[in-house]
């Protein structure tokens, strides 16, 4: 690996100077982000132009980076339709909590243009509203309930999701945003007798807690909304700014889409809580407050910027070997002669051990194995790195068409749905339930289910077509990617 080149970039960022690179794509870009994040050992903010690309990066970077340190900070451009807590909101709060409570964590935050649309609760207000509880602490129950409401938590008969609390006599159940399980707080008078985590499905106790931190549930609710993610982001953090022109273009589109949605809501006489939006100039100024690694695949797409290093990265996708191991071994030997660092990424110990055994028999050494999965590897003469995926070696694996069936549950009734629930349409894919609305056509008024899809896409589904919907099963601890109407990803 070209350690001299990598170190020069890292040292430039440490000096708070800017870098401009061109030509990166796919796993080569993901690999470089991982290497720099580890060398700099500080928070990384990756600015990407769309939600789809954010999810793709989060998926790919897991091959190199611990999943628990990858945070998504996405947009809330339909905030005035908020009725209950969504996974987007939870991940946003998780990101802000990570910045506040763990500023030295080497985590990767992936943010989209829409995520900067609205000013956030100030850092001082967020800290002030954060609740710290411990066993044997004196805290009147009524006062704590008022504090939870002020922090954006919603009262429910029985809690079912983060951002809710429920009261039964001297018992307070609260599901702090960002926690895996809710907590039951047992009061005796004004004294907290115990804190116990419990399973939300069975209500069974998991175990006691000595203390509990409850961070505010809504970063867009408060008297002092004048912050951005950069106010929470540590001052020594660095930013990978991917395709800056496209990022700012998408930001302006998001602003206009939000303003159009506000006008439409008012025409429909809906109660609208309109929020102030950041101007493009304010966002650009906030971005420039940190050392930047600008990147664009094409050199002409970078705006004028003062940089210390400007370089084009030579890289290409790894060639497919279709199981021809003799060709693979020949390429590895060629790369070693050029002092390249060679990796093979394979899922599962058996696969890695078998490949390693065969290479030993061919007198090939110096190949590093990574436990992970990538669709395509790469080779770069600039970085002096070759990374080979299992798919590069053996060819594309077939996938079962039943995967999406497992994401579905029984058919739904409208009464089963809450605003913000994820649903699956058998033809259009994953969307968000935004309620039931009436639409007048040719003098006839009909009721439709309103579904939100990626970007500004909406689907008005007649009530008699409800049997095409299924509840989305959250099989992973992350928010699903919304499908795009007219796209080919859901077929």
DSSP at 138? B
pLDDT digits (tens, 9 = 90+) for 388-439: 999 999 886 544 343 444 344 455 677 778 777 888 888 888 888 888 887 7
Q: Is the pLDDT of residue 237 over 70?
A: yes
pLDDT digits (tens, 9 = 90+) for 368-387: 999 988 889 999 999 999 99
- Rounded CA gap, 198 and 283, in Å? 42
Contact assessment for residue 140 and residue 188, using Cβ atoms and an 8 Å cutoff: no
Q: What is the DSSP string of 316-383?
A: EEPPP-TT-HHHHHHHHHHHHHTT-EEEEEESSHHHHHHHHHHHHHTT---EEEEES--S--EEETTT
pLDDT at 488: 54
- Rounded CA gap, 329 and 313, in Å? 25
Q: Which ranges of 151-271 would DSSP assign to H, the alpha helix?
A: 229-232, 244-267
**Structure token pair of residue 158:** 């029985």
The phi, psi pair for 239, rounded to 5°, reads -125, 130
Chain Cα centroid distance, residue 481:
10
Chain Cα centroid distance, residue 118:
18
pLDDT at 329: 94
59: three-class secondary structure by DSSP: helix
5: three-class secondary structure by DSSP: helix
- Rounded CA gap, 106 and 104, in Å? 6
Q: Which residues pair with 240 in a beta bridge?
A: 46, 293
Q: How confident is the model at residue 442 (pLDDT cuts 50, 70, 90)?
A: low
- Rounded CA gap, 120 and 382, in Å? 40
**Nearest to residue 19, comparing CAs of 311, 307, 314, 312?**
307
Mean pLDDT taken over the chain = 88
pLDDT digits (tens, 9 = 90+) for 476-490: 445 677 887 766 555
Contact assessment for residue 333 and residue 327, using Cβ atoms and an 8 Å cutoff: no
Contact assessment for residue 381 and residue 322, using Cβ atoms and an 8 Å cutoff: no
User: Per residue, what are the HEC states of 444-474?
Assistant: EEEEEEEEECCCCCEEEEEHHHHHHEEEECC
- Rounded CA gap, 341 and 339, in Å? 7
pLDDT digits (tens, 9 = 90+) for 248-279: 999 999 999 888 888 888 888 877 778 899 99
Count CB-CB contacts under 10 A for residue 471.
18
Is pTM beyond 0.75? Reply is yes
| Domains of the chain from N-terminus onward | 3-120+231-312 (3.40.50.300), 125-214 (3.30.2060.10), 315-394 (3.40.50.11140), 403-472 (2.40.10.170)
pLDDT at 469: 86
């Amino acid at each position: 690996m070209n350690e001299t080149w990598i170190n020069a970039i890292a040292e430039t960022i440490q000096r708070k100077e800017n870098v401009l690179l061109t030509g990166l794509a796919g796993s080569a870009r993901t690999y470089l982000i991982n290497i720099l994040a580890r060398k700099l050992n500080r928070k990384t903010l990756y600015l990407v132009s769309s939600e789809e690309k954010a999810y793709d990066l989060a998926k790919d970077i897991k091959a190199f980076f611990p999943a628990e340190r990858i945070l998504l900070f996405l947009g809330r451009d339909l905030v005035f339709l908020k009725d209950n807590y969504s996974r987007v909101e939870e991940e946003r709060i998780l990101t802000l909590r990570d910045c506040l409570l763990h500023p030295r964590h080497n985590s990767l935050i992936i943010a989209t243009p829409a995520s900067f649309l609205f000013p956030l609760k100030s850092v001082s207000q967020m800290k002030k509203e954060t609740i710290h509880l411990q066993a044997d602490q004196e805290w009147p129950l009524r006062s704590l309930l008022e504090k939870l409401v002020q922090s954006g938590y919603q009262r429910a008969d029985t809690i079912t999701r983060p951002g809710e609390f429920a009261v039964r006599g001297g018992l307070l159940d609260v599901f702090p945003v960002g926690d895996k399980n809710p907590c039951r707080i047992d009061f005796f008078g004004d004294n907290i007798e115990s804190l116990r985590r419990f399973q939300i499905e069975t209500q069974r106790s998991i175990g006691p807690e000595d203390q509990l931190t409850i961070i505010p549930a809504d970063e867009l609710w408060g008297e002092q909304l004048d912050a951005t993610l950069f106010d929470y982001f540590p001052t020594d953090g660095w930013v990978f700014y991917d395709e800056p022109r496209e990022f700012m273009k998408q930001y302006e589109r998001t602003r206009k889409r939000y303003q159009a949605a506000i006008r439409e809501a008012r025409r429909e006489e809906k109660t609208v809580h309109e929020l102030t939006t950041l101007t493009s100039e304010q966002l650009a100024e906030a971005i420039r407050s940190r050392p930047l690694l600008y990147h664009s695949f094409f050199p002409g797409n970078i705006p004028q910027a003062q940089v210390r290093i400007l370089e084009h990265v030579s890289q290409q996708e790894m060639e497919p070997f279709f199981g021809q191991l003799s060709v693979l071994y020949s390429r590895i030997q060629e790369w070693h002669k050029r002092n390249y660092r060679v990796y093979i990424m394979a899922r599962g110990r058996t696969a890695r051990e078998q490949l390693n055994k065969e290479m030993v028999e061919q007198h090939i050494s110096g190949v590093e194995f990574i436990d992970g999965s990538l669709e395509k590897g790469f080779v770069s003469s600039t970085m002096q790195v070759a990374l080979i995926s299992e798919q590069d070696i053996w060819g594309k694996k077939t996938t079962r068409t039943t995967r999406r069936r497992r994401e579905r549950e029984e058919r739904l009734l409208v009464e089963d749905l809450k605003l913000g629930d994820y649903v699956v349409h058998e033809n259009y894919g994953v969307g968000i339930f935004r309620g039931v609305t009436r639409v007048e056509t040719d003098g006839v008024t009909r009721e439709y289910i309103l579904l939100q899809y990626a970007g500004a896409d909406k689907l008005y589904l007649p009530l008699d077509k409800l049997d095409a919907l299924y509840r989305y099963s959250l099989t992973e601890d992350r928010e699903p990617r919304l499908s795009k109407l007219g796209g080919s990803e859901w077929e």
